[in-house]
Amino acid sequence: MLKQRQACFAGSAAAAAEWLNGYVQEGARYLVLRFAGDHERHQETMIKLREQLAA
């Protein structure tokens, strides 16, 4: 049941923006992200990508 609510992604920053945009375009208003590895680096990347997400 958890797999129906949680998805995993690995790839480039550009691919991550595209992947997350799929959720935004379908109406997601909030995205909860969990990072593996270098949390600060991943968080900084997501801060930069935030502007690329569809509104």
Local confidence band at 55 (pLDDT 50, 70, 90 cut-offs): low
pLDDT, residue 52, reads 79
The domain spans of the chain are: 15-52
Residue 21: exposure state from Cβ atoms within 10 A (0-12, 13-18, ≥19):
middle
Neighbours of 26 (CB within 10 A): 7
Q: For 4-54, what is each residue's pLDDT tens digit?
A: 678 889 999 999 999 999 989 989 888 889 898 999 999 999 998 888 776
In this model, does residue 1 exceed pLDDT 70?
no
pTM comes to: 0.76
**Helix residue spans in 1-55 (DSSP H):** 13-25, 39-49
Q: Give me the pLDDT at residue 6, please.
A: 80
Separation of alpha carbons 14 and 42, rounded Å: 13
